[in-house]
Amino acid sequence: MATPPPHHGPGPGPYPPYASPQGNPYGPYPVPQQAGPYGPHPVPGAVHGCRLCGALPAAQATVRGHQGMLVLMRFLRQEGPFCRDCGLATYRRMSAATLWQGWWGPLSLFITPFTLLLNLGARAGFLRLAPPTGAILPTLDPGKALWRRPPALAFLVATVLVACTPPVLVLLGLMAGDDEPPTGPAIGTCVREADELRNEKLVPEACGSPLAKYRVTKRRGTPGADCADGDLISVPGKWAEGAHSLCLTPVH
């Protein structure tokens, strides 16, 4: 009977577990790490695509708005990230609405300018971005610039009117003046004393009347109104009506 060939494998009995060089007790190869069904987890603090269209690049920013309602007020905000086009469209829409809705209240008069200044910081960040690419949804149309929109134009006109009104009123006041037109006897008319014996006050009299005593030649207080030699100067308190300073020439 033939003898079976010698067996070179491990002998009978329990076998020790195989230890791989990597320290895995279950096999010679490491088990690969499986990714989740939705891709890798987002990195905290990283900015991903635009929240409105999904395009890149995008910037993290907050666009604000304000509405004044006399005794009430409303604060509005839209948080990013935004791509360049969606960010500019949001900035222009909310700022234009704030320009005509944000002033209607005592506190809103101070809050509205502050809100518009904060939006300028977000606008600067959007302008630094490259054109959006890889959008999942259509990007928003930025539209006209803010200062070319009707609310901004109305605000600009109102601001110019308010700023120019005080100087215009002052100029009109200076041009109109507050001098009253001269009153009393006209140049060339005659006057007499109401009672010569009692030195009564002067009253108008027709120049052809024998009672006429003085003729009005000049009105003092105007350029070149110095009385001539021999003329009399009437003091304001000498008149029966009004107060006049005139140059009087004796008729006879």
27-83 pLDDT, tens digit per residue, is: 454 544 444 444 444 445 556 799 999 999 999 999 999 999 888 899 999 999 999
Average pLDDT for 10-32:
50
- Are 199 and 181 a contacting pair, CB within 8 Å? no
- Are 126 and 84 a contacting pair, CB within 8 Å? yes
pLDDT for res 98 = 94
- Of the pLDDT bands very low, low, confident and very high (cuts 50, 70, 90), residue 196 is low
In a domain, residue 46? The reply is no
pLDDT for res 39 = 41
Rounded alpha-carbon distances, angstroms, from residue 60 to 50, 64, 75, 187? 9, 14, 20, 84
Based on the domain organization, do 124 and 205 belong to the same domain? no
- Of the pLDDT bands very low, low, confident and very high (cuts 50, 70, 90), residue 14 is low
Based on the domain organization, do 195 and 117 belong to the same domain? no
Q: Which two tokens stand for residue 54?
A: 């999904």
In a domain, residue 119? The reply is yes
Task: Give the domain range for residue 90.
Answer: 62-159
d(CA 94, CA 64): 7
pLDDT for res 93 = 94
In a domain, residue 127? The reply is yes
Q: Which two tokens stand for residue 106?
A: 């005592």
- What share of the chain has pLDDT > 70, as a percent? 69
Based on the domain organization, do 150 and 211 belong to the same domain? no
Say what the pTM is: 0.51
pLDDT for res 198 = 54
- The count of structural domains within the chain is 2
Express each pLDDT in 113-157 by its tens digit.
Answer: 999 999 999 999 999 999 999 999 999 999 998 888 888 888 878
